[in-house]
């Protein structure tokens, strides 16, 4: 039970491209009961949840966050292998968006309140970072928290000279064990703001402190975490986040229990479709059913609608663009090759030494039984 007369925290689970769920959930809270986020003593997150925690802490416009996510998802979908295509650099997309969106004093405003979950490569331990010396340090921490090994690359990024990877590996829901923490997750499970399962299924797993029920809906959500679905499906996930947050606010008596009031139905969120497009789909939107985003705020509706429209008219040109993107990615990596190679060499040395120590221990253990045989009692030797 949430007690607003005490200090409380907010925590967002890591979820990749399912982060669009948080756009809907946060937009609902800011629209209906903004004090829940505005007055929280700490806003925590891992991976994509850390990005949303930064958006909430700094008060960045949600429509820009939504537009960036839709753009990155569309770029990933335009490749034959999706996000796994060598020319697609997810980490670079995140870094560029952060450097573009974060204000100059972001590190000052975030320090002491924003908590970013990281996993240290050297020992696999979780590190919760909440102090940032500069804007670039804040960018580094958020980028490190989003780095999924192999999925995002081979060489982990650094924060203050230390290599870190996705915070979701060691703690995907920071401070979730504290009694007065409101947890957000796009997976159905035992979290405060999360989808409700459509079927009765009581089996669940816990992954790095996140409860996930075993059902077909969650399987789809986990898949969408790494491989973004079609734009209209992403828009539906966003509205799902809005409705789940609305239910949480109503169940805890933070707002009235009236049903969700729909916003503008129809094509008010963008330009109307042409008559030919409308006849083709039987609706004023040829690219998106208005009911999919009917509950969302108008500014988020507009972004989602425009993204779906652009995706429908997009002409794929994978050939030259993929080659150019791959060349740009390699060119950007060249300056870091010496230090990355030396780090890899050091890691391999560390692993080799660990294996060598294990082999020596095994050799010592194998010799011990022979020594014990020489000291057996005379009767057993005979």
Active site residues: 47, 166
Per the DSSP assignment, residues forming a β-bridge with 120 are 164
Please choose, from the candidates 40, 18, 9, 23, the residue with its C-alpha nearest in 3D space to the C-alpha of residue 245.
Answer: 23
Distance from C-alpha of 174 to C-alpha of 194, rounded to nearest angstrom: 16
Look at residue 104 and give its three-state secondary structure. Answer: coil
Q: How far is CA 4 from CA 7, 9, 27, 179, 254, in A?
A: 7, 10, 20, 12, 10
Sign of CA dihedral 163, 167, 171, 175: positive
Contacts of 77 (CB under 8 A, 6+ apart): 228, 230, 311
Per the DSSP assignment, residues forming a β-bridge with 129 are 116
Distance from C-alpha of 287 to C-alpha of 296, rounded to nearest angstrom: 17
CB 230 within 8 A of CB 78: no
Tokens of 143: 């980028």
- Residue 118 sits at φ, ψ, to 5 deg, of -125, 155
Burial of 347 (0-12, 13-18, 19+ CB in 10 A): middle
- Residue 179 sits at φ, ψ, to 5 deg, of -65, -30
Kindly provide the residue ranges of all beta strands, DSSP E only, lying in 3-108, ordered along the sequence.
9-12, 42-46
């Amino acid at each position: 039970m949430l007690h607003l007369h005490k200090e409380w925290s907010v925590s967002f689970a890591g979820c990749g491209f399912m982060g669009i769920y948080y756009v809907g959930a946060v937009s609902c809270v800011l629209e209906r009961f903004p004090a829940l986020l505005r007055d929280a003593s700490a806003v925590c997150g891992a991976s994509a949840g850390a990005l949303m925690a930064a958006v909430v802490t700094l008060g960045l416009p949600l429509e820009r966050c939504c537009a960036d996510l839709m753009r990155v998802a569309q770029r990933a979908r335009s490749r034959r292998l999706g996000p796994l295509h060598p020319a697609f650099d997810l980490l670079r997309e995140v870094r560029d968006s952060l450097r573009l969106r974060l204000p100059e004093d972001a590190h000052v405003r975030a320090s002491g309140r924003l908590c970013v979950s990281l996993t240290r490569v050297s020992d696999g331990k979780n590190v919760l970072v909440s102090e940032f010396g500069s804007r670039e340090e804040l960018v580094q921490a958020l980028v490190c928290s989003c780095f999924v090994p192999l999925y995002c690359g081979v060489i982990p990024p650094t924060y203050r000279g230390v290599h870190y990877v996705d915070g979701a590996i060691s703690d995907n829901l920071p401070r979730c064990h504290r009694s007065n923490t409101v947890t957000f997750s796009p997976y159905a499970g035992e979290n405060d703001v999360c989808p409700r399962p459509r079927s009765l299924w009581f089996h669940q797993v816990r992954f790095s402190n996140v409860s996930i029920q075993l059902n077909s809906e969650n399987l789809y959500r986990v898949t969408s975490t790494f491989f973004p679905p079609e734009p209209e499906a992403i828009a539906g996930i966003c509205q799902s986040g809005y409705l789940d947050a609305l239910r949480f606010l109503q169940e805890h008596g933070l707002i009235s229990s009236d049903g969700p009031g729909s916003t503008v139905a129809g094509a008010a969120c963008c330009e109307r479709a042409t008559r030919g497009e409308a006849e083709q789909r039987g609706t004023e939107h040829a690219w998106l059913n208005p009911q999919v985003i009917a509950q969302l705020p108008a500014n988020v509706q507009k972004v989602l609608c425009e993204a779906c429209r652009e995706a429908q008219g997009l002409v794929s040109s994978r050939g030259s663009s993929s080659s150019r993107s791959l060349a740009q990615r390699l060119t950007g990596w060249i300056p870091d090759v010496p230090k990355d190679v030396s780090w890899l060499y050091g890691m391999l040395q560390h692993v080799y030494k660990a294996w060598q120590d294990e082999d020596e221990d095994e050799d010592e253990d194998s010799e011990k039984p022979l020594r014990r045989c020489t000291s057996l009692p005379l009767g057993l030797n005979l």
